[in-house]
Amino acid sequence: MRMMLQPPIKLAILTGASASGKTTISKRIAAKAAPIINCWHFDSIGVPSPGQMIAEFGSGENWQRAKTFEWMIRIQEEFLSKGKLVLFDGQMRISSIFEACAAAKITNHKTFLVDCDDASRESRLRINRRQPEFANARMTNWARFLRNEADANSILKLDTNRSSIEECVFEILAVFDL
């Protein structure tokens, strides 16, 4: 009996609420693994105001979904189709990631939820990032939504309260066949 092997992972995706540690982990991987792994951040395209999102897409959620699809198509065309490895981080619904990967015909990917407890997130937003306007119930609900979505889809969670950044980096690098 022949065993079917999964193709090696070429795309690792980090999602999570603001101040969970996604970008910190991504930057650490970029410092360790560039140019072997191409690191991209969702927000590098620029984030329009909520009013612009509503005017152009009907809601912030629709904007985020549309941009997730655009990113996955770009990653497939510019990198994966050429055999390059990619790490991508951003605040995206897991369901949108799966749909966008399917639309872009990306099959060799792994998604991680980067998370922390709500008190740590609030502290990071208020003190470390000086963005107290994001330390609110809406962000807490978004983090809860992502946790629930990760649980429902058996997505590996990287808890930046319980694990060091280096431990999280190791977990992610382990999925690439280097």
The CATH code of the domain that includes 122 is 3.40.50.300
Identify the band that residue 135 occupies on the pLDDT scale cut at 50, 70 and 90. Answer: confident
Write the DSSP symbol of residue 20.
S
User: Has residue 125 been placed in a domain?
Assistant: yes
User: Has residue 1 been placed in a domain?
Assistant: no
Domain that holds residue 110: 11-173
User: Has residue 6 been placed in a domain?
Assistant: no
- Could you give the CA distance from residue 161 to residue 93 in angstroms, rounded to a whole number? 22
Ranges assigned E (strand) in the chain = 11-15, 37-41, 85-89, 109-115, 156-159
Q: Are 112 and 51 in contact (CB under 8 A)?
A: no
Per-residue pLDDT for 3 more than 70?
no
Strands 85-89 and 11-15: parallel
Cis peptide before 8 (omega within 30 of 0): no
Domain total for the chain? 1
Q: Are 122 and 135 in contact (CB under 8 A)?
A: yes
- Residue-wise pLDDT for 91-119, tens only, equals 999 999 999 999 999 998 999 999 999 99
- Could you give the CA distance from residue 54 to residue 60 in angstroms, rounded to a whole number? 6
Identify the band that residue 65 occupies on the pLDDT scale cut at 50, 70 and 90. Answer: very high
